[in-house]
Copies of this chain bind each other. A is one copy, B any other.
Amino acid sequence: MIKKYRKDGDVSYALGATVVMELMKRRPQDVRAVYISPKSNVVAVIEKAREIGAEIIESEKAFNILSPKENCFAIAEFGKFDAKISGDRHHVVLVNPSNAGNLGTVVRDVAAFDCADLAIIRPAVDPFDPKTVRASMGTVFDINFELFDSFDAYVKRFDNEIVPFMLGGSPFREKSFTAESGAKKYSLVFGNEATGLPQEFERFGAVRIEQSKNVDSLNLSTAVAVGLYKLYTSRSGNTHSVLSTAEHSELA
């Protein structure tokens, strides 16, 4: 039986046909059930759910419980999974992110510039929150991410160069990455949406994304995107990963 999402539970929910499809493609082993709204006829979802052997449930009630106001015609229940981050990759580190939608958008940036794993320092919003899953457009099924109890616990496990993003830092455009494969790995570290990073991070040598004085600061996912884009394009070879226009389906 479907229930309201619980952070301390062992299942979560993918809301909407697009996200449900991504889940079934990327992590079919974790799908517990797929709910289909009697109002809709989501053919592709039903076909894929049959293919992976997921239970298919036609239910109005699931939608009332999980998505009362939204334009959503498919929900999948899935088991929470481990997707541990790697010592061989760059990292994006979010310290105490507080908004589920923001976290989902950052996940999408991390997936788009596929050169880094995602570390999340507690206290933090839940990466399995259905709002995060939805805002990620299903890319949360595609990346490595891991929660840590403290920044110290994170630092102890990895030997990356720490690059904190802080308003008092030196200009980011002057920062150069030597990011050829096999070389040094970087951790781009971003603070909470409202409070930023604590002063103690200045000891690592902070950088600042240049911006107008008129605006308080950048959207968290904008800051992550600017940082990741530079890291991504500093690698050799990435200019050649051309997408064909046929692959282009969504720019949301």
Kindly provide the distance from the CB of A106 to the nearest chain B CB, expressed in whole angstroms.
10
Whether A212 contacts B168 in the complex (CB less than 8 A), given A219-B221, A219-B251, comes out as no
The answer to whether B233 touches A210 (Cβ under 8 A) is yes
Q: How far, in angstroms, from A113 to B112 measured CA to CA in the complex?
A: 22
* A225 contact from B167, B190, B225, B251, Cβ within 8 A: B225
Q: How far, in angstroms, from A97 to B217 measured CA to CA in the complex?
A: 24
Nearest B-chain residue to A202, judged by Cβ:
B245
Q: How far, in angstroms, from A238 to B111 measured CA to CA in the complex?
A: 30
The answer to whether A108 touches B239 (Cβ under 8 A) is no
Whether A218 contacts B167 in the complex (CB less than 8 A), given A225-B226, A251-B223, comes out as no
The answer to whether B225 touches A210 (Cβ under 8 A) is no
The answer to whether A191 touches B233 (Cβ under 8 A) is no
Contact indicator per residue, chain A 111-133, by CB within 8 Å of chain B (1) or not (0): 11110000000000000000000
The answer to whether B218 touches A251 (Cβ under 8 A) is yes
Q: How many residues of A contact B (CB 8 A)?
A: 59
Residues in B with CB closer than 8 Å to A232 are: 210-211
The answer to whether A239 touches B209 (Cβ under 8 A) is no
* A247 contact from B167, B220, B241, B251, Cβ within 8 A: B167
The answer to whether A212 touches B251 (Cβ under 8 A) is no
Contact indicator per residue, chain A 198-210, by CB within 8 Å of chain B (1) or not (0): 0000000000111
Residues in B with CB closer than 8 Å to A111 are: 212, 214-215
* A221 contact from B139, B210, B222, B238, Cβ within 8 A: B222
Q: How far, in angstroms, from A91 to B156 measured CA to CA in the complex?
A: 46
Asked if A196 is an interface residue, CB under 8 A from chain B, the answer is: yes
Nearest B-chain residue to A139, judged by Cβ:
B215
Asked if A67 is an interface residue, CB under 8 A from chain B, the answer is: no
Asked if A12 is an interface residue, CB under 8 A from chain B, the answer is: no
Residues in B with CB closer than 8 Å to A212 are: 111-114, 241
Asked if A105 is an interface residue, CB under 8 A from chain B, the answer is: yes
Whether A250 contacts B217 in the complex (CB less than 8 A), given A226-B229, A233-B173, comes out as yes
The answer to whether B102 touches A241 (Cβ under 8 A) is no
Q: Could you list some 8 contacts between A and B, CB below 8 A?
A: A69-B69, A99-B252, A112-B217, A112-B218, A168-B245, A208-B242, A221-B221, A222-B222
State the A residues within 8 Å of B (CB): 69, 99, 102, 105, 108-109, 111-114, 139, 142, 166-168, 171, 173-174, 190-196, 208-223, 225-226, 229, 232-233, 238-239, 241-245, 247-252
